[in-house]
């Protein structure tokens, strides 16, 4: 395993991050613990969850797994705050000082740990000034409850604004950004990645397989397979467009030539893109984790990139995932 610096921190993380959104939900506790143990045995030392994932159950499962295997100190543990944690309380969501401090304490209890390595603001909030948010996060760092802070799905200008406020007020700054990034949405190449490389932020992409579309499980003019993410929800027209399938065709062609799976090819592409630190994988089963791990053995050549650029143009979005400013009262995955 070749470890990478997490932004400008000097902390070393694996080139894949284990995402735990499904744990305690679609992935039952016993299977989730097996996935975590296998990932750590394979050399992954970076785990990402959030308080809102199954309303705390994901954090509980992660905490239990790390308690059982005794490897908490070897893991860079990341979680997030912002999403709604109660349906009947107007203050149970967002980026206010009140909510952040309250939820940090709750996450620490669920994770059975004294500190969070990377505490991330899950989405921007246009109705809360960034200095309010940064003050709360800075206090958590100074109290020893959080080591580093980051953002998720912020626009480049929002990150730069936060860096300016941190400098002006003498506060700890964000060190990572977690945006969506895959071969169907390369929007972040226009501004976000150049900004992150300029200011030393780590990039931790979510949905590197476009919600499973790039695994090849979906086919033209066929119903989504049973148990898949899009089985019981209306198909997005852009997701199942001819342009999206044209990208998948090339992925399948290159994967066949390399003797790997389409998902390994698509994931390897994200891992090896400039400015990327550690894509977040979200395996539902142990079998899916094993497939994801195989991506680290796949080499993407300049010729491969050129071929993919023809069907998935740099900086463009065939299926838009990256919508950085959702405004108040909205929370999207």
Answer yes or no: is 325 within a domain. Answer: no
Instruction: Name the band, by pLDDT with cuts 50, 70 and 90, for residue 321.
Output: confident
CA distance linking residue 214 with residue 269, whole number of Å? 12
| pLDDT per residue as tens digits for the range 263-300 | 999 999 999 999 999 999 999 999 999 999 999 999 99
| Kind of pairing between the strands at 202-203 and 280-281 | unpaired
Give residue 240's pLDDT.
80
Q: Give the relative orientation of helices 242-258 and 262-271 as an angle to the nearest 10 degrees.
A: 90
pTM, rounded to two decimals? 0.94
> In this structure, are residues 81 and 107 in contact, taking their beta carbons and an 8 Å threshold?
yes
How many domains, in total, are found in the chain?
A: 1
pLDDT at 326: 47
**Average pLDDT over every residue of 200-224:** 89
- For the stretch 64-77, pLDDT in tens is 999 999 999 999 99
Spatial separation of the C-alpha atoms in residues 110 and 232, rounded to whole Å: 31
3-state secondary structure of 178: strand
Residues 6 or more apart in contact with residue 182 via CB below 8 angstroms: 205, 207, 208, 209, 210, 214, 266, 270, 321
pLDDT given for residue 36 in this prediction? 98
Whether 95 maps to a domain, the answer reads: yes
Q: Are strands 174-178 and 202-203 parallel, antiparallel or unpaired?
A: parallel
Report residue 187 as tokens: 């929007």
Dihedral, 152, 157, 163, 168 alpha carbons, nearest 10 = -140
Q: Tokens standing for 332?
A: 């999207």
Is residue 326 assigned to a domain?
Answer: no
Q: Is 300 within the bounds of a domain?
A: yes
Residue 172 in contact with residue 141, Cβ under 8 Å? yes
pLDDT score of 333: 39
Q: Is the pLDDT of residue 146 over 80?
A: yes
* Domain enclosing residue 80, as ranges: 4-311
* C-alpha torsion angle, residues 63, 294, 281, 204 (rounded to 10): 100
Helices (H), 50-96: 57-69
Model confidence pLDDT, tens digit, residues 215-244: 988 887 776 666 666 655 555 566 788 999
321, part of any domain: no
In a domain, 44, yes or no: yes
Evaluate whether residue 318 is within a structural domain: no
37: in domain: yes
Residue with tokens 């898949």: 228
Q: Can you give the CATH number for the domain in which 222 is found?
A: 3.20.20.100
Phi, psi (deg, nearest 5) at residue 312: -125, 85
d(CA 141, CA 133): 13
Q: For residue 60, is pLDDT > 80? A: yes
* Residues involved in catalysis: 53
Encoded tokens for 130: 């960034």
């Amino acid at each position: 395993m070749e470890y990478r610096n997490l932004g400008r921190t000097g902390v070393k993380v694996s080139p894949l991050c284990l995402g735990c959104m499904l744990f305690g939900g679609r992935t039952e506790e016993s299977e989730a613990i097996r996935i975590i143990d296998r990932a750590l045995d394979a050399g992954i030392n970076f785990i990402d969850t959030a308080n809102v994932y199954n309303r705390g159950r994901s954090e509980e499962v992660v905490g239990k797994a790390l308690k059982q295997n005794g490897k908490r100190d070897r893991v860079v543990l990341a979680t997030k705050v912002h999403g709604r944690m109660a349906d009947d309380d107007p203050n149970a969501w967002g980026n206010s000082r009140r909510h952040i401090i309250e939820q940090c304490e709750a996450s620490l209890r669920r994770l059975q740990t004294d500190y969070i390595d990377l505490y991330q603001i899950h989405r921007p909030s246009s109705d809360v000034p960034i200095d309010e948010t940064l003050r709360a996060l800075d206090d958590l760092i100074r109290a020893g409850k959080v080591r580093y802070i980051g953002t998720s799905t912020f626009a480049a200008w929002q990150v730069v604004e936060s860096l300016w406020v941190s400098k002006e007020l003498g506060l700890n700054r964000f060190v990572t950004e977690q945006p969506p990034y895959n071969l169907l949405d390369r929007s972040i190449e226009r501004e976000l990645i150049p900004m992150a490389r300029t200011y030393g932020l780590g990039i931790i992409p979510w949905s590197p397989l476009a919600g499973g579309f790039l695994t090849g499980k979906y086919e033209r003019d066929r119903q989504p397979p049973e148990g898949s993410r899009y089985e019981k929800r209306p198909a997005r027209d852009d997701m199942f467009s001819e342009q999206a399938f044209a990208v998948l065709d090339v992925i399948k062609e290159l994967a066949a030539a390399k003797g790997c799976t389409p998902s390994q090819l698509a994931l390897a592409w994200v891992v090896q893109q400039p400015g990327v630190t550690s894509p977040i994988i979200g395996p539902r089963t142990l079998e899916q984790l094993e497939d994801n791990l195989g991506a680290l053995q796949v080499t993407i050549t300049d010729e491969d990139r050129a071929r993919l650029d023809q069907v998935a143009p740099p900086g463009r979005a065939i299926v838009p995932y990256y919508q950085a400013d959702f405004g108040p009262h909205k929370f999207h995955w």
